[in-house]
């Protein structure tokens, strides 16, 4: 039976993600074992906490190399919230910390935007998503989906081509999801976003 490797960084509450994936009939394994991850059909890279702590956990188990190897094998990866941020070059959270650098871009504080919005950004927000057949996560969506966010930092990718959705944050637009080859990343929590979130996860799982 195919299984999805959910990377265990020991800083996550993963019950919601497991429940969402199991809902569609897929087996899940929460693991930081390199062989188990590489033998899976897909990776979920979740994350709650700080960027430096997340990278420290990945490097401790050498999972940074495993994720890159999995990516080069062209198998699907879905990165959520902090996991999404870790895909990029670096972050200024607490200190300048290097990320996985699979995608070029920097993670910066929402405070840098100098808006009147409350920080952290917690709650529901409607996505401005690109309406085209290549935008896999939002296939079959007919209206702007509302999804759930919890974050104090945002990603600023170097390439606008990988962006698949944004949100309005005051008078600014923030990148809320990306797609590049077999790599999918979302700043929001699909596992906590009701039916819309389940449909996004379903669209990802269909890539397996």
Q: 93, 163, 189, 206: which one is catalytic?
A: 189
Whether the CB-CB separation of 170 and 180 falls below 8 Å is answered with no
> CA-CA distances (angstroms) from residue 38 to 70, 76, 82, 85?
6, 11, 21, 21
Alpha-carbon gap, residue 105 to 90, rounded angstroms: 7
Alpha-carbon gap, residue 83 to 72, rounded angstroms: 18
> CA-CA distances (angstroms) from residue 63 to 6, 120, 127?
12, 28, 31
Alpha helices in the chain (DSSP H): 15-23, 34-39, 51-60, 63-72, 82-86, 194-205
DSSP symbol at 203: H
Beta-bridged to residue 169, according to DSSP, are 172
- Residue 189 among the catalytic residues: yes
- Residue 151 among the catalytic residues: no
Q: 10, 81, 93, 163: which one is catalytic?
A: 81
Q: 126, 163, 191, 206: which one is catalytic?
A: 191
- Residue 163 among the catalytic residues: no
Phi, psi (5° rounding) for residue 44?
Answer: -110, 120
Alpha-carbon gap, residue 70 to 41, rounded angstroms: 10
Residues marked as catalytic: 81, 189, 191
């Amino acid at each position: 039976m195919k299984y999805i490797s959910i990377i265990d960084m020991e800083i996550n509450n993963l019950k919601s993600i497991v429940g969402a994936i199991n809902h569609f009939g897929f087996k899940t394994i929460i693991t930081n074992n390199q062989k188990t991850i590489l033998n899976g059909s897909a990776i979920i890279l979740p994350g709650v906490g700080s960027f430096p702590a997340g990278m420290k956990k990945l490097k401790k188990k050498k999972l940074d190399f495993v994720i890159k190897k999995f990516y080069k094998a062209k198998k699907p990866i879905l990165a959520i919230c902090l996991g999404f941020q870790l895909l990029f070059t670096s972050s200024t959270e607490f200190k300048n910390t290097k990320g996985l650098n699979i995608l070029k871009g920097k993670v910066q504080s929402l405070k840098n935007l100098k808006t009147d919005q409350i920080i952290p950004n917690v709650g529901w927000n409607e996505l401005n998503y690109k309406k085209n057949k290549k935008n896999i996560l939002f296939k079959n969506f007919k209206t702007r989906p509302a999804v759930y966010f919890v974050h104090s930092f945002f990603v600023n990718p170097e390439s606008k081509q990988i962006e698949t959705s944004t949100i309005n944050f005051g008078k600014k637009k923030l990148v809320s999801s990306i797609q590049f080859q077999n790599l999918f990343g979302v700043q929001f929590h699909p596992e906590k976003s009701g039916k819309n979130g389940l449909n996004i996860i379903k669209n990802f799982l269909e890539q397996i």
